[in-house]
Structure 1
Amino acid sequence: MKVAEVGNVIEFRNGLRGIVEKVNENSVIVDLTIMDNYLELELEDKTVVNHKKYKIIAESAS
């Protein structure tokens, strides 16, 4: 299992996507505001996702 890094875009739970802001031992903190339909979904702007529950969509540019 590859662990995401800060700046990676990940996908989790039925297609939600976000940018990784912080990597913890067992999870990542993700900013969801990059999604086009973010406001329609009425979600919090950040969430925590376990490393086992996401896949990396895009690597960070750095």
Structure 2
Amino acid sequence: MTIAEVGNVIEFRNGLQGIVEKVNENSVIVDLTIMENFRDLDLEEKTVVNHKNYTIIHSSVNA
């Protein structure tokens, strides 16, 4: 299992995407406002996603 880093874009739960803002031991905190249809989905701006439940779409280039 690859753990996301701050700045990565991840995808989870039926196509939702967000930018990782914080990495915790078992989960990441994700900012969902990058999605074009964010306002239409009526979601909170941030959510918590377990490491088991996402895939990394884009890696951050801060290395």
**Count, aligned residues:** 62
Report the equivalent of 2:22. Answer: 22
TM-score (norm 1): 0.99
Read off the aligned partner of 1:48 and give its amino acid letter.
V
Q: CA RMSD in A?
A: 0.3
CA distance in 1, matches of 2:54, 2:18: 10
Unaligned runs of 5+ in 1: none
Secondary structure of the corresponding residue to residue 4 of structure 1:
coil
Unaligned runs of 5+ in 2: none
CA distance in 1, matches of 2:59, 2:4: 8
CA distance in 1, matches of 2:61, 2:2: 17
TM-score (norm 2): 0.98
CA distance in 1, matches of 2:61, 2:37: 24
